[in-house]
Every structure is written in C-alpha cells, then in structure tokens.
Amino acid sequence: MPSFYQIWGDADVFRPNRFLDSSGKVTKPEEFIPFSTGRRVCLGESLAKMELFLFMTTLMQRFEFKAVDPDNLPTLKGVFGITHAPTKYDVRAVPRC
C-alpha cells in the first residue's frame, strides 16, 4: 500500500484536483492502485467501491465522529510493517439526532 503522505506531501489537505487532468477529467495516478492492474485485476472492484460508498455514507449520515483527545491528533505518516497501517487513534461516534 503506498504512503500517500510521501507521494503528495500534504496528504492531509483536501485537494480533489490531484485526481483531475488539465481538462478536468478524472485520472488515476500511477501511485494509486488499490485493486491491482492488468490481467490480475480484482473482479470485485466495482462491487467493493459501491459497498464502501454505501457503508461510509450511512455511517456519516447516522453518526458524528469526534476526536477523543482533540489536542492529540494523529499524523498521516503511518506505521510500516508487513503493510502500511495508520497510527493508533481513538475516535468517538456520536449518534445524530
């Protein structure tokens, strides 16, 4: 899994233009290959993306996510091991009314 912090430097900044070419069309950067490529591409990519979208939007609709300790926010550098994993971070899910 790539370290987006090393690729873009400011991965914590919301900049959707990273995925747009000069004409405004959506592109896939070479560094971003979550489902592989070529002959061994994941057959369930479209299903996985659809399910992930539905799952995440449902969570965002029903909960508000807050930091347990707002003064101790994590970095996006992560921890390297067999995979690249995010650092441990506690959040609180507060149900929306």
Q: State pLDDT tens for residues 30-84.
A: 666 666 767 777 788 889 999 999 999 999 999 999 999 989 888 878 888 888 8
What distance in Å separates the CA atoms of residue 52 and residue 55, rounded to the nearest whole number?
5
Q: Is 97 annotated as a binding residue?
A: no
pLDDT at 12: 78
Closest CA to 89 of 81, 77, 80: 77
The C-alpha atoms of residue 32 and residue 53 are separated, in whole angstroms, by 18
Q: Is the pTM of this model over 0.75?
A: no
Residue 68: its pLDDT value, please?
92
Q: Where are the domains of the chain?
A: 4-95
In this predicted model, what pLDDT tens digit does every residue of 4-28 receive, in sequence order? Answer: 667 677 777 888 888 888 898 888 7
